[in-house]
Amino acid sequence: MPDLLIELFSEEIPARMQKRAAEDLKKLVTDGLVEAGLTYAGAGAFATPRRLTLALEGLTAESPTLREERKGPRTDAPEKALAGFLRSTGLTMEQLERRADKKGEVFFAVIEKPGRPAAEIVAEVLEKTIRTFPWPKSMRWGSGSLRWVRPLHSILCILSDEAGAAIVPLAVDGITAGDTTEGHRFMSPGRFSVTSFEDYAAKLKRAYVVLDAEERAETIWADATAQAFAQGLEVVEDQGLLAEVAGLVEWPVVLMGAIGADFLDLPPEVLQTSMKEHQKFFSVRDRSGRIVKYVTVANRETADQGATILAGNGKVLAARLADAKFFWENDLQTVREQGLEGMAAPLANVTFHNKLGSQAERIARIAALAREIAPLVGADADQAEQAARVAKADLSSEMVYEFPELQGVMGGYYARAAGLPDAVANACAAHYQPLGPSDDVPTEPVSVAVALADKIDTLTGFWAIDEKPTGSKDPYALRRAALGVIRLVLVNGIRAGLSNVITSSRDGTDDWGSDLLSFIHDRLKVHLRAEGIRHDVIDACLAMPGNDDLVLLVNRATALQAFLSTEDGENLLQGYKRANNILTAEEKKDGVEYSYGPDPKLAEGEAETTLFAALDTAEPAIATAMQAEDFATAMAEMAKLRAPIDAFFTDVQVNADNAVIRRNRLNLLHRIRATMRQVAVFDAIEG
Amino acid sequence: MTDTAKPRSFQEIILRLQSYWAGQGCAILQPYDMEVGAGTFHPGTTLRSLGTNAWAAAYVQPSRRPTDGRYGENPNRLQHYYQYQVLIKPSPPNLQELYLGSLKAIGIDAEIHDIRFVEDDWESPTLGAWGLGWEVWCDGMEVSQFTYFQQVGGHDCHPVSGELTYGLERLAIYILGVDHVMDMPFNDPDAPIPLTYGDVFRQTEQEYSRWNFDVANTDVLLKHFEEAEAECAAILAQEHIDPKTGKRIIMAHPAYDQCIKASHVFNLLDARGVISVTERQAYIGRVRALAKMCADAFVLTEAGGHAA
């Protein structure tokens, strides 16, 4: 059983593409080999900035011989039929077998496809893989026509077993496969040959290449945290950055440097963003949370232990931070001289969307809406309006122009610098939140009011101009905005009808307001499903009045789901369905609605009388509990109906011969349904 | 140039690059005599990257970006600066090694510095051009742009050109170890009359910053844009056979000059803040249309690979 080693060596592969490319190489090659009849015991794929590597263990040495039998025409069939069969099988008449069949003698073709050596199959599969590789973006180079992510320089492809290694003969666009590769570009130039994966990995390491990205990432993280720890500091975790940096080096060398004292007063978010975005540095903070140092990862060791590299990086960082400081100070000066309103003034000339006007117009709408929402969330209306008016001022700050991801965060700093109250400053900082299903949800009342107003204005705006999300297209992140509304409402327990809020946000809501509400309901379903609430339970509650009060809706759904998981709940549901089925069928047949109250005087027998009595008790109790929105009590009261309803269906025939009795019983079923529908529309529940 | 010590002035870095690339067989061209936003606009790159003819050229190109003007105060932002540009077609297999050799020539030793090729795809919406490559980092600083051209003026590049662009001031600030571009020695600091970059350019940065931002007559500029656009189309609408000489003369280069002019006027209008976000895209599209027309014309010429 030979092992297969493939390495595709190229100029630097973008860090973000390496992991996926290694996986694609593994999948395409193994799929191709398996399809051609080979099997293998194990596979490992690796990527560095300059190579994709695939190692397969225990590959079968050749594909199995395949034997195929095909039935042909009868031996006395016309010559034409025989000629066609010979053509399609590629055999001569002498090679055919004659076999007896029920209807006489028939030709049979026995075609043997001999097994093929692994090398031949590997060569074919690898060439196809290279020519059709699914890079997100690929290119040509020189005079060739081959496409790769960057120029492909060499192909290493060997099959090795106890007897030794053999190069798989293969050439793609003038690149002939061999058994050699290169180590680190600077630390170990020159090619060397390898005989197996173990030999390859060991020689690479000697040539200053760590093949496995995981190992590089672990080394970087371990070294960085150890260096920080030694100085009583802590590296700010950033998995995305770690993966990226591990894809930029073959031989990671962690270096820690200090941030100039001039810059330590910049907001930590600014330091962190600038260092990460421009320099791919990790931030290092002290015990108080202040960012005081950085970690950079070099791609080589040097005679001066990285001193030159660190000095260079420090200098570049200083220039970057000088820029950031310059923006910060200019922004603060603007705020001091003109206030946040002054900073926001240019937004009058910035288009938010060509059908929705300028940013300034949008801000005015959000401010008016925040004022309306304020009493619903316990916020001071003046503060909510004030916060909304300045919350987006930072969009015209120099800092946010440079680092768009700092929007909001900078607004908070600038609001504080402008001497605005904490509640307003916090709202500026937090009003974009929550940005996703796991982002923090603002809880301070003023922040909540502005965050809600912002998202609702966005939703109603795009609904008004009919730019709704379709399929995978959601360019304005409206699903996220709707989820933001939902989470703000639920986390803060905001008791308000969203319909009113939507209506007061802009004109024309008659035409599309209910469509928007049902969009929000759809997002709510997705959200609640993730929390384990069944979609049919949500539907049962959505069909109830007041469904634009999301807190009520969720409380109801939670209680209903809990109830339905009890034995009483399950049985009561069956009772409801039975009552509803009979009633619906009979109403349809009779063409009338049995909604008169049933008369207890017409009750016959104990089961029916007991059901009347039970309903007499349950109805007011459920009504009272519903009034208090005490769903658990309502459900408990409803549960008491289970036994009487079960007994009723066991002992009593609804469709009695006596028409008066029958009508009364149908009216009784109607009463059961109406009682239970006070709580939820059970029709929607499955099962 | 055999001097392996660190260069001591801005001009020495340029001279060493010139000598290095001359040594690699490049034709050392002179700067194009028009205002351009980047070295790529030089016809020695834009037009020569089209068609099948082999090409190898290197040159310094003064470049203007009116919006980057900072009155000479910013340590490394300038509205007028120099790019060093290398274009080799077809891109040789050892272009990365050649490039690293050029860094060594200007005093960047890969044995003690950390040199990295970091993904950076290049696109010029005004030229209808794009390519894949990297920005090259030296100790965390971007020192060059390295691109394999895939398309120019809407034409697929066959063969592919390799393009290297060095931002000379930034590179020099780094190599010479100065903090502010204006403090950088322009000629040898020991020369009888030592000049700094600021001695040469501080005043012009101020003058142009003022003109670019506040004074340039936008009505006149708008008219220039329209005229250049019209002239470009008019040139290319001419018969291929010159009626006077009877020769086939397609005027791709004169037309391309008008494209360059339109592009620069657009940059000036942008700096003057008279172009709105929506208009911006439209202007870029108009310049791109000119670039495309010029590219279409160039590939019909001899230099563009047209066989007579």
> CATH number of the domain that B255 lies in?
1.20.58.180
Task: Work out the number of other CB atoms within 10 angstroms of the CB of residue B124.
Answer: 22
- Nearest Cα of chain B lies from the Cα of A137 at a distance, in angstroms, of 9
Q: Is the pLDDT of residue A615 over 70?
A: yes
Q: Which of A298, A317, A354 sits opposite B114 (nearest CB)?
A: A298
Q: Are B42 and B255 in contact (CB under 8 A)?
A: no
pLDDT recorded at residue A113: 85
Q: Is B188 a member of any domain?
A: yes
List all residues of chain B from 137 to 156 with a beta carbon under 8 Å from chain A.
138-141, 148, 150
Q: Which two tokens stand for residue A647?
A: 């007994």
Is A312 in contact with B141 (Cβ distance < 8 A)?
Answer: yes
Max avg pLDDT among A466-470, B152-156, B213-217:
B152-156
pLDDT recorded at residue A531: 85
- How far apart are the C-alpha atoms of B78 and B84, rounded to whole Å? 16
Same domain flag for A136 and A37: yes
pLDDT recorded at residue B308: 65
Q: Is B307 a member of any domain?
A: no
**Confidence class for position A509, pLDDT limits 50, 70, 90:** confident
- How far apart are the C-alpha atoms of B118 and A12, rounded to whole Å? 8
Q: Is B121 a member of any domain?
A: yes
Task: Work out the number of other CB atoms within 10 angstroms of the CB of residue A134.
Answer: 11
Q: Which residues of A touch B278 (CB under 8 A)?
A: 351, 354
In three-state form (DSSP H/G/I as H, E/B as E, the rest C), the secondary structure along B235-297 is HHCCCCECCCCCCECCCHHHHHHHHHHHHHHHHHHHHCCCCCHHHHHHHHHHHHHHHHHHHHH
Q: Which two tokens stand for residue A594?
A: 């049995």
**Confidence class for position B122, pLDDT limits 50, 70, 90:** very high
CA distances from B19 to B28, B59, B238 (A): 9, 11, 41
| Residues A143, A146, A152, A157, Cα dihedral to 10° | -130
Q: Is B108 a member of any domain?
A: yes
Q: Which of B75, B117, B162 sits opposite A319 (nearest CB)?
A: B75
Q: Is B304 a member of any domain?
A: no
- Residue B163 bridge partners (DSSP): B87, B147
Task: Work out the number of other CB atoms within 10 angstroms of the CB of residue A303.
Answer: 9
Same domain flag for B46 and B81: yes
Is B150 in contact with A139 (Cβ distance < 8 A)?
Answer: yes
Closest CA in chain A for residue B90: A142
Closest CA in chain B for residue A14: B119
pLDDT recorded at residue B128: 93
Same domain flag for B124 and B223: no
Q: Is B305 a member of any domain?
A: no
Is B132 in contact with A139 (Cβ distance < 8 A)?
Answer: yes
pLDDT recorded at residue B300: 96
Q: Which residues of A touch B172 (CB under 8 A)?
A: none
Q: Write out pLDDT tens, residues B201-213.
A: 999 999 999 999 8
Q: Does B2 touch chain A (CB under 8 A)?
A: no
Helix axes A422-430, A381-390, angle to 10 degrees: 50
Q: Which of B90, B119, B174 sits opposite A143 (nearest CB)?
A: B90
Place of tokens 């100070």: A329
Q: Is the pLDDT of residue B2 over 50?
A: no
pTM of the model: 0.80
Same domain flag for B125 and B242: no
Same domain flag for A19 and A151: yes
**Confidence class for position A684, pLDDT limits 50, 70, 90:** confident
Q: Is the pLDDT of residue B1 over 70?
A: no
Same domain flag for A160 and A148: yes
Q: Write out pLDDT tens, residues A74-111.
A: 888 888 888 888 888 888 888 888 888 887 888 888 88
Which of B55, B73, B119 is most worth mutating to test chain A (most A CB atoms within 10 A of its CB)? Answer: B119
Same domain flag for B139 and B189: yes
Last residue of a domain, one of B161, B194, B210: B210
pLDDT recorded at residue A374: 95
Last residue of a domain, one of A509, A531, A553: A531
Q: Which residues of A touch B77 (CB under 8 A)?
A: none
CA distances from A373 to A168, A434, A451, B20 (A): 71, 18, 10, 69
Q: Is A435 a member of any domain?
A: yes
Question: Looking at this predicted complex, what is its ipTM?
Answer: 0.93
| Residue of A102 and A681 predicted with greater confidence | A681
Same domain flag for A603 and A579: yes
Closest CA in chain A for residue B132: A139
Is B114 in contact with A140 (Cβ distance < 8 A)?
Answer: no
- Nearest Cα of chain B lies from the Cα of A466 at a distance, in angstroms, of 21
Q: Which residues of B touch A153 (CB under 8 A)?
A: 93
Same domain flag for A517 and A574: no
Same domain flag for B187 and B268: no
Average pLDDT over residues A348-358: 83
Closest CA in chain A for residue B171: A316
Q: Does B119 touch chain A (CB under 8 A)?
A: yes
Same domain flag for A123 and A93: no
Report how many domains make up chain B. Answer: 2
> What secondary structure letter does DSSP report for B212?
I
Average pLDDT over residues B166-176: 93
Average pLDDT over residues A34-40: 95
Is B93 in contact with A313 (Cβ distance < 8 A)?
Answer: no
pLDDT recorded at residue A92: 86
pLDDT recorded at residue B4: 60
Is A142 in contact with B140 (Cβ distance < 8 A)?
Answer: no
Q: Is A547 a member of any domain?
A: no
B226: left (phi over 0), alpha (psi -120 to 50) or beta: alpha
Q: Which residues of B touch A21 (CB under 8 A)?
A: none
Q: Which two tokens stand for residue A429?
A: 């900082």
Same domain flag for B183 and B256: no
Average pLDDT over residues A559-563: 91
Is B93 in contact with A319 (Cβ distance < 8 A)?
Answer: no
Q: Which two tokens stand for residue A330?
A: 């200019």
> What secondary structure letter does DSSP report for A289?
S
Q: Which residues of B touch A149 (CB under 8 A)?
A: 132
Is B93 in contact with A14 (Cβ distance < 8 A)?
Answer: no
Is B174 in contact with A16 (Cβ distance < 8 A)?
Answer: no
Q: Is the pLDDT of residue A577 over 60?
A: yes
Same domain flag for A498 and A640: no
- Most distant CA pair in chain B, distance: 63
- Nearest Cα of chain B lies from the Cα of A489 at a distance, in angstroms, of 36
Percent of chain A clearing pLDDT 90 (strictly above): 68
Same domain flag for A521 and A385: yes
pLDDT recorded at residue B154: 93
- Nearest Cα of chain B lies from the Cα of A312 at a distance, in angstroms, of 5
Residue type, A509: T
Average pLDDT over residues A506-513: 85
Q: Which two tokens stand for residue A10?
A: 């190229």
Which of A10, A12, A241 is most worth mutating to test chain B (most B CB atoms within 10 A of its CB)? Answer: A12
pLDDT recorded at residue A686: 84
* CATH number of the domain where residue A608 is located: 1.10.730.10
Q: Is the pLDDT of residue B277 over 70?
A: no
Q: Is A411 a member of any domain?
A: no
Q: Which of A12, A139, A350 sits opposite B148 (nearest CB)?
A: A139
Q: Is A313 a member of any domain?
A: yes
Same domain flag for B272 and B143: no
Last residue of a domain, one of B152, B176, B210: B210
Same domain flag for A32 and A71: no
Q: Which residues of B touch A395 (CB under 8 A)?
A: none
Task: Work out the number of other CB atoms within 10 angstroms of the CB of residue B233.
Answer: 14
Q: Is B306 a member of any domain?
A: no
Same domain flag for B116 and B47: yes
Average pLDDT over residues B34-56: 96
Is B140 in contact with A312 (Cβ distance < 8 A)?
Answer: yes
CA distances from B241 to A108, B237, B247, B249, B296 (A): 72, 12, 5, 6, 17
Q: Which residues of A touch B277 (CB under 8 A)?
A: 350-351
Q: Is A255 a member of any domain?
A: yes
Strands B27-28 and B55-64: parallel
- Residue A45 bridge partners (DSSP): A54
Same domain flag for B261 and B122: no
Strands A191-193 and A180-182: antiparallel
Which of A140, A241, A280, A296 is most worth mutating to test chain B (most B CB atoms within 10 A of its CB)? Answer: A140
Average pLDDT value over all residues in chain B: 94
Residue type, A246: A
Same domain flag for A195 and A70: no
Q: Is A192 a member of any domain?
A: yes
Is B131 in contact with A319 (Cβ distance < 8 A)?
Answer: no
- How far apart are the C-alpha atoms of A655 and A664, rounded to whole Å? 10
Q: Which residues of A touch B92 (CB under 8 A)?
A: 142
Same domain flag for B156 and B285: no
Average pLDDT over residues B116-134: 94
Average pLDDT over residues A422-430: 96
Q: Is the pLDDT of residue A289 over 70?
A: yes
Last residue of a domain, one of A477, A509, A531: A531
pLDDT recorded at residue A140: 97
Max avg pLDDT among A267-281, B89-103, B206-220:
B89-103
Closest CA in chain B for residue A318: B179
**Confidence class for position A358, pLDDT limits 50, 70, 90:** confident
Q: Are B82 and B37 in contact (CB under 8 A)?
A: no
Same domain flag for A20 and A48: yes
Average pLDDT over residues A378-405: 93
Report how many domains make up chain A. Answer: 5
Tell me the three state secondary structure of residue B79.
coil
Last residue of a domain, one of A174, A206, A238: A206
Same domain flag for A488 and A631: no
Task: Work out the number of other CB atoms within 10 angstroms of the CB of residue B170.
Answer: 20
Last residue of a domain, one of B193, B210, B227: B210
A394: left (phi over 0), alpha (psi -120 to 50) or beta: alpha
**Confidence class for position A440, pLDDT limits 50, 70, 90:** very high
pLDDT recorded at residue B278: 67
Q: Are A7 and A46 in contact (CB under 8 A)?
A: no
Q: Does B174 touch chain A (CB under 8 A)?
A: yes
**Residue range(s) defining the domain that contains residue B70:** 10-210
**Residue range(s) defining the domain that contains residue A93:** 66-113
> What secondary structure letter does DSSP report for B177?
T
Q: Which of B139, B158, B277 sits opposite A313 (nearest CB)?
A: B139
Q: Which residues of B touch A15 (CB under 8 A)?
A: 118-119
Q: Does B4 touch chain A (CB under 8 A)?
A: no
Same domain flag for B42 and B171: yes
Phi, psi at B199, each rounded to 5°: -60, -35
Q: Is B25 a member of any domain?
A: yes
What are the residues whose beta carbons fall under 8 Å from the beta carbon of A386, sequence distance 6 or more? A420, A424
Q: Is A525 a member of any domain?
A: yes
Q: Which of A141, A153, A350 sits opposite B160 (nearest CB)?
A: A141
Same domain flag for B112 and B232: no
Q: Which residues of B touch A139 (CB under 8 A)?
A: 131-132, 148, 150, 160
| Residue of B184 and A472 predicted with greater confidence | B184
Is B75 in contact with A322 (Cβ distance < 8 A)?
Answer: yes
* CATH number of the domain where residue B102 is located: 3.30.930.10
Average pLDDT over residues A530-556: 90
